[in-house]
Amino acid sequence: MAPAGAAPSGMKCRRLEGKVALVTAATAGIGLATAERLAEEGASVFICSRKASNVEETVAALRGRGLEVSGCACHVGSAEQRKQLVAACVQKYGGMDALVSNAAVNPGAGPLADTPPDVIDKILDINIKAAVLLVQEALPHLRKRPGASIVFVSSVTAFNPPEPIAMYAISKTALLGLTKGLAAELGPEGIRVNCVAPGIVPTKFSAALVETPELAAQQASATMLKRLGRPQEQAAAIAYLVSPDAAYVTGETLVVSGGMHSRL
């Protein structure tokens, strides 16, 4: 038996065989780990990121491991690029069974009361508006697939927005409501909608929260497990939610935070 806190083993099931998943912001961090995990479980995975070079490098690396992955550059804030992204996925793999909406921005940190209007606009535009509009773009294809699902990537900070990143956290709070609303609307069609709320996972995106050993220790101490999370642990939760194992799970937010406070 692996010791407590050990990294996940390399053993994976093939419960996503024959499925197609689109994962946004998937060339680093949680998005990359998710693309890798879904492909390891048998899915054909289409990824995107803003930089074409990052997409090309990631696709090459994952294909080098024998995984079925393709992708293209996409700025999810662009209506035309969202349309092209979904079309490219469907053209490549013939459809779409799962959408993992992971793209997000946090262009500024500081007190909520002092957040500039342009920062507010950018956060809401990408983290909420683009997420909704990407779902709208993907829905015609998801509706054609039995057992289709959508997963939003929120954050444990959604439950108690901290001052340095409060505006970002509030945008993640909105995803909890979006999950509930879409789940109720799409449930009669058999499309499940769920959400994952990661805790503090050391990635480039969350670097400001763990940039010093003292900060990292402080964040770890706020968890019941007394450690920070790993991208692969978030990916495992997302893989569960898009899989047949979660066939009766919808409208839920799965908090993967090592036991941090997670109640509104």
Residue 264 lies in a domain: no
All residues at 6 or more sequence positions from 262 whose CB lies less than 8 Å from its CB, including other chains = 156, 159, 197, 255
Q: For residue 10, what pLDDT is reported?
A: 55
Residue with tokens 């699902």: 149
CA–CA dist 68, 77 (Å, integer): 26
Residue 7 lies in a domain: no
Provide the CB-side half-sphere exposure for 65 (13 A, CA): 14
CA–CA dist 6, 2 (Å, integer): 6
CA–CA dist 15, 244 (Å, integer): 7
Q: For residue 212, what pLDDT is reported?
A: 81
Residue 14 lies in a domain: no
Residues in a beta bridge with 47? 23, 71
Domain range holding 105?
Answer: 20-254
Query: What CATH number is attached to the domain comprising 100?
Result: 3.40.50.720
Nearest-Å Rg of the Cα atoms of the chain is: 17
Instruction: Please give the tally of structural domains in the chain.
Output: 1
Residue 1 lies in a domain: no
Residue 131 lies in a domain: yes
The pLDDT profile of the chain, 264 residues, written as one tens digit per residue, is: 333 444 444 557 999 999 999 999 999 999 999 999 999 999 999 999 999 999 999 999 999 999 999 999 999 999 999 999 999 999 999 999 999 999 999 998 889 999 999 999 999 999 999 999 999 999 999 999 999 999 999 999 999 998 888 999 999 999 999 999 999 999 999 999 999 999 989 877 666 677 788 888 888 888 899 998 899 999 999 999 999 999 999 999 999 999 998 876
- Listed as own residue / partner, the contacts of 120-125 with beta carbons closer than 8 Å and 24 or more positions apart are 120/167, 123/167, 123/168, 123/171, 124/171, 125/77
Identify which of 255, 240, 227, 246 has the alpha carbon closest to the alpha carbon of residue 7.
227
CA–CA dist 26, 43 (Å, integer): 15
Residue 130 lies in a domain: yes
Residues catalogued as catalytic: 168
0.85 exceeded by pTM:
yes
Q: Provide φ and ψ at 194, rounded to 5°.
A: -135, 180
Residue with tokens 């047949």: 244
Residue 135 lies in a domain: yes
Element (H, E) at 98: strand 98-101
Residue 11 lies in a domain: no
Residue with tokens 């035309």: 80
